[in-house]
Structure 1
């Protein structure tokens, strides 16, 4: 898991949703953050805009945690 992508994703969540970075880790589940499908869609768009990594909302909805999202992003970077 890329620490750089993890840090970036956590910072995006902190900036966009006002959460405390100290409460977020790779094990943090999106369900526990009460992120619904609309929030996940917004996050997918923000990831593509900020990182240039295209992620569909369906792909992001298929992951349960921040760590799984980073693994998805890592796989997309390697495949590119």
Structure 2
């Protein structure tokens, strides 16, 4: 499958807690119990994480993950910049302590 398919699967697993064993190119969003509101949220995440703008009518719950990945890949285009790497969720950003904050 395409790199976009892998990114979409990664978002479904990381952001929507979908079991990777449930995912295949021919899996529909209905199969994952994702309704149109879930898809809207997914497309907001896709836009934020991958930089691909997607309209709310791009897909329905009956569409497959593979078909949506193809649409996203076309929208990203061949010359589209690579999306920024996902933040490392294993290590949260350090919070500055009062001792390390300069006093004016």
Structure 2-normalised TM-score?
0.68
Q: Larger % of helix: which?
A: 1
Q: Which runs of 5+ in 1 are unaligned?
A: none
Superposed counterparts of 1:17-36, under 5 Å: 17-36=16-35
Is the radius of gyration larger for structure 1 or structure 2? 2
RMSD between aligned alpha carbons? 1.9
CA 1:62/1:29 → structure 2, altered by over 3 Å: closer, same or farther?
closer
SS in 1 for 2:58: helix
Per-residue Cα deviation, 1:9-68 (whole angstroms, up to 9, x for no partner): 111111122121122011111111111111010001000000100001111338601001
How many residues get paired?
Answer: 79
Q: Which runs of 5+ in 2 are unaligned?
A: 81-104
Counterpart position of 1:5: 4
Structure 1-normalised TM-score?
0.86
